[in-house]
Homo-oligomer: A and B are copies of this chain.
Amino acid sequence: MSQTRFSGVLAPVITPFTETLQPDSKRFTKHCNWIVSQGVNLAVFGTNSEANSLNLAEKIHLLEELVTSGVNPAKLMPGTGCCALTDSISLTKKAMELGCGGVLMLPPFYYKGVTDQGLFDFYSQVIEAVADDRLHIYLYHIPPISQISLSLRLIEQLAAKYPNNIAGIKDSSGDWNQTQAFNDLAIENFAVFCGSESFLLQNMRTGGAGCISATANVNPSAIVGLYKHWQDTGAKQRQEDLNKIRDIFQAFPMIPALKAATAMYGEDSEWVRVRPPLTQLTDEQNSILSSELSSANFKMPGL
């Protein structure tokens, strides 16, 4: 019996760090609750979560803390794809054990030029080790960062072999033609999420499921607004309004900019920290970001 698939808006939740750069589970849980209060689900451990700067034990601990604190696990789509097969299996098993609604799974990303067969084997090993029909995998296509492409043929083969498990894809290629091609796949109930809200209206018109976007950390309700009203008059205006805010953030390194905005609007300077190799915004960047957001009348109500 297959559970419901995700749709709508998800945030790759930014991860706060303490002064000694340890994950800060209290602030993390608080931010997750705020995001959920805005109608957005939680793709924790995504690229924008600095997930690949966290190790297995840290991710397991954060996930357990979140669920223990009362966050509904059905709203969670943790990123569980790691370079090591064994980490991917452990984290995916933990996500299932905690009742997560799905997982977002990067391909292993160290080795380059790998074959479709090698990637098929990787996903297949995870699925067979987890051995749970409730496991819903959303594949994570983000070649600008992972440098690994998920081909249409690979996805078809995986979905043919594991129809209960292959639930959808997040496309962060930044290329609309690619998102369209994923939507055109003849796979039943295949949920296609664009990786930026700048493609949300287009994706909804093409039969997509929603978006999983960095800026859903800071601008969640407006993105949900477009998701809910994409068929209404004014959808185009909503898209344009979203793009304006997105463009402001996109002019900076995204992760530190999201954290800077969260620190500013939440009046909590602890949020600005990032783990290396990332660096936080400079004072100058910070003040430009602040002034642009303010000119755009940007708000994070209730943060």
Contacts and interface: CB of A to CB of B under 8 A. Distances in A.
Interface of A: 21, 47, 52-58, 82-87, 90, 107-112, 114-115, 117-119, 121-122, 124-125, 144-148, 275-279
A56 B55 CA distance: 9
Q: Select the residue from A111, A117, A144 with max chain B CB neighbours within 10 A.
A: A111
Contact of A52 (B111, B125, B279): B111
B53 A108 contact: yes
Given A54-B84, A112-B147, 5 more contacts: A21-B85, A53-B110, A53-B111, A56-B56, A121-B276
B117 A53 contact: no
A118 B86 CA distance: 28
| Shortest beta-carbon contacts, A-B, top 10 | A52-B110, A121-B276, A118-B277, A122-B276, A114-B277, A55-B84, A52-B83, A55-B87, A55-B86, A118-B279
A108 B276 CA distance: 8
Nearest to A88: B55
A119 B56 contact: no
Given A86-B58, A144-B112, A145-B111, A277 B52 contact: no
19 contacts: A21-B85, A52-B83, A52-B84, A52-B110, A53-B111, A57-B86, A83-B83, A85-B276, A108-B277, A110-B146, A111-B145, A111-B277, A112-B144, A112-B145, A112-B147, A114-B279, A118-B277, A121-B276, A121-B279
Nearest to A50: B111
B54 A277 contact: no
B56 A111 contact: no
A58 B110 CA distance: 17
A278 B114 contact: yes
A119 B278 CA distance: 8
A7 B293 CA distance: 55
